Structure 1
Amino acid sequence: MKSQRIAVAGGTGGIGNHIVDGLLEVKDIYSLHIIVLSRSSKPAISFANSSALVIAVDYNNIANIEKVLNEHRIDTVLSTLSSDDPWLFQSSQNNLLTAALNIPTVFRFSPSEYSHDSEALVRTIPFFTMKTDILKPLRQAKTARGEDKFQYTLFHPGAFMNYLGYGNSKPEGDKALGHLAPFPFVFDLKSRKVDVPGDGERKMVYTTAEDVGRFVAAATQLERWEEHSNMMGSWVSFNEVIAVAEKLVGRLNIKYNTAEEIDQRIGGEDPSMKNLYLFIYKAIVEGKYEVTRPFNVNETVGKMVKPVSVEEFLHRWWEA
């Protein structure tokens, strides 16, 4: 049940590009066939002396998606689709799953999760409804076909550690972000500011996007997928990160936010993408971001992936 012929939907940018990079690193080792699905035609993605063809698909056209998956005899579909528009995201990903289930060779599917457990957080973070929409058809497919014929998993890397490198002044310092868009989540070390949800004692899982790509690539070679795949580079409190950061950049201006203050900042606005980080703050303060499952990906592929820790990452990008 190992994956051999893999399609990455949305793999031309953001975390999707890192997933493709991770697969290309091991492409020759495992004799993988990798394609990238995109809304528009783009050049092939090259990394680690390997490349993956980028194929334009219409996510509104299930038959079009089926044609591509069938022609390449895909057995595993990794969705890394993203959108600020919940309806566009849901319809695209649901059409992708429908197409995949119509292809006889497909036996694995991973929806676009790549955060904490969205199902556990959906009541606190309404925006995550768009991610949980696909879970019912996934569970139905697994029950109908049996685990020996169909598996799915949700990859949970926590927060992307790359954001801790935002604004660093190192040569080629922009590489700290990898393929991710710049965003100072909690920490803006360039401005010496930290915007902490709660008292700083809550622990957060951090994983670099590069390590997420490597973890996912290694997980494709597991015989069995669990329904949740937890991974981490570090599991640390905000105060622990602050302690390391202050040794490297000096004293920080720290704002600790109570639940009431976070609610005031959210105000009466819609729970849209622009407000997403504040809803995540709220979930953290309420203790709903705590890890409740083991880091099973680290345990199963630990010999293949040695993730970067928060301390290592901070030293790399902020040490004078």
Structure 2
Amino acid sequence: MRSHSIAIAGGTGRIGRHIVEGLLEIKQQYSFELIVLSRSNSSDISFAGTSAPVIRVDYQDVSSIQKVLNEHQVDTVISTVSATTASDAPDAFITSQETLLRAASSVPSVRRFAPSEFSVNSEQVPGVELYQLKLPIIRLLRQIKQERPEFEYSLFNCGVFMNYLGYGNTKPDGHRAHGHMPHFPYVYDLSKRSADIPGDGEKQLIYTRAEDVGKFVAAATQLEAWEEYYEMAGDVLSMNEILHLCEDACGTKFDVKYNSREEIHARLGPPEKTMENFFVQFLLAIMDGDCDLNRPLNLNKAVDVKPMTVEQYLKRWWV
């Protein structure tokens, strides 16, 4: 059954905001209710001629979340809460997700839940510590599914956000290249015409524009049934193929560093350097093949979304 009342947790910024905007874009077509859950007070989110209210909840208080979900008869909860900055405490992140899921599973109207994945599958990257924090949520989802067979959950995976390739562009509206995502380069720094590649560059990466992730997930809420995994992509390319596209867009060869596993591993810092270590661990996961595409891009086939390719993105912001 399609989703009729949807709550996006953490939907005021970053990928959550893109999912909210994706839903607002199709809201009138499918006629569903949409609310955004947030730790802080915020004004309504408006997009594509419609809007969604932002409701403050306490992610450490089950009853606070239950009350809102009950009042709005929410049937679908999508979590985008995460630990994404150096000041975020990983323990607080996992506690927030667990509280959200326990609240949702106790509300009779809730029948769908999507945890905060929206990258590579957390189960595939044992060396990425921040993603290992998500595993208890997945185990709890499977437990709930056993107890309530009608309950649906899905892990939405999209690889790397294409928006990082827009860092440093000089277009008049260049800030839009990032969408609502952070502004920094990852592996490829087109502003410096350089690339910092793990291994020999032959490992493939899944790249998806954040705006398209929002469209994909929004469309998925209107599917009659959810699969356990939904894989989506704007492109699946080797790191060398992406490099060549970047060089073509900039009209020059890049200063390229191919790194051994030992060189990447040497970048790891002390345990308290959570985010710095996360990016290094992700590079190691790429080298180890943990980020390889292991399932077909089923969400690309299931919904009518035409995502932007890497080449199209680069031409938009660098040519």
TM class, shorter-chain normalised?
A: over 0.9
**1:274 Cα offset (Å):** 2.1
Answer with 264-273 or 111-120: which moved more. Answer: 264-273
1:43-192 correspondence runs (5 A): 43-83=43-83, 84-121=88-125, 123-146=126-149, 149-192=150-193
- State which drifts further: 270-279 or 170-179: 270-279
- What are the within-5 Å matches in structure 2 for residues 171-320 of structure 1? 171-249=172-250, 250-266=252-268, 269=271, 272-301=274-303, 304-319=304-319
Secondary structure of 1:28's partner? helix
CA offset at residue 273 of structure 1?
A: 1.7
Distance in 2 of aligned mates of 1:274 and 1:12: 24
Question: Amino acid of the residue matched to residue 246 of structure 2?
Answer: A
Aligned-partner Cα distance in 2 for 1:269–1:98:
29
Matches of 2:131 and 2:144, distance apart in 1: 22
Contact 1:23 1:214 in 2 (8 A): yes
Task: Give the C-alpha shift of residue 267 in structure 1.
Answer: 5.0
TM-score (norm 1): 0.96
- Measured in 2, the distance between the counterparts of 1:87 and 1:246 equals 41
Structure 2 residue runs without a partner (length 5+)? none
Provide runs of 4+ in structure 1 moved above 2 Å.
Answer: 267-271
Question: Residues 169 and 101 of structure 1: is their aligned pair in 2 closer, same or farther, counting only changes over 3 Å?
Answer: same
Q: Deviations over 1:290-319 (max 9, x none)?
A: 110110100111xx2100000000010000
CA distance in 2, matches of 1:292, 1:260: 26
Cα distance in structure 1, aligned partners of 2:285 and 2:171: 33
> For residues 17 and 225 of structure 1, what CA distance do their matches in structure 2 show?
22
CA contact (8 A) 1:41 1:54 kept: yes
**Cα distance in 1, alignment partners of residues 92 and 270 from structure 2:** 24
When the two structures are aligned, how many residues end up with a matched partner? 314
Q: Distance in 2 between matches of 1:127 and 1:247?
A: 35
**Distance in 1 between residues matched to 2:302 and 2:308, nearest whole Å:** 17
Residues 27-64 of structure 1: CA deviation (Å, up to 9, x unaligned): 00010100000001100000000100000001111111
